[in-house]
Structure 1
Amino acid sequence: MNATGTSAPLPPFDPICPSSVVPVQIGGKWTAMIVLCLEAGPRRFGELRRHLRPISAKVLAETLDAMERDGLTHRRPVDDGVEYHLTPLGRTLLGLIEHVRTWARANLDELSRARARGTMAG
């Protein structure tokens, strides 16, 4: 359980995540994954950073700032730092993200074959 009482586990992300190859992007490259991490409740910066290992601290901070600017997240000071949570507007992305993830899982093989053909042609 974290300092805010959130004990829900963070969502698992496949290292070869279909969302990393899908040609549909919501916000920045990391926006959808951050939205999924915040779905169950507030998270601190460090918790997000540890879970989204490939992202640099700078890019995570920039993405969270952009998400807050767009009204998708809200930053709240806590005892020894800051935590982030989804706003009602940010929560509206959850259904869209699930549809994109479903599409990616259903079409990953075909998408991968098409991309492989494209790299062979170049």
Structure 2
Amino acid sequence: MISYVTLGVSDLAAAKKFYSELFADEGAKVLLDGERISFIGKSMAAPMLAVCTPFNQEPASAGNGTMVAFAQKGKAEVDAMYNKAIALGASCDGAPGERIPNAFYGAYVKDADGNKLCFNHFMM
């Protein structure tokens, strides 16, 4: 159902590098590269992440309460993605852990523009 999710960024080149490296182990790469927007994913036919400089030419800003969640196969994968994001320059916004007992395990980071990301695993 989802085609792509867009995150506004202030430095397109840096954002492409961050997200391409973050998801490289999952086979993701820049699939379509435009002047102010780039689409990162495994295939143009699968859900993608787009990073772009805002169309209105105003500064990029993260939405309050807005978050993009990326499903992982298990707790170890959540931990690994969290650690990788931190190593690539993201900041912690919630260390890995069970948020809903026996149901939801997640970790939260913010990228350089303050966009909130979640790496999660539903244990049900």
- Normalising by structure 2, report the TM-score: 0.28
**Structure with the larger helix share:** 1
- Normalising by structure 1, report the TM-score: 0.28
Max Rg structure = 1
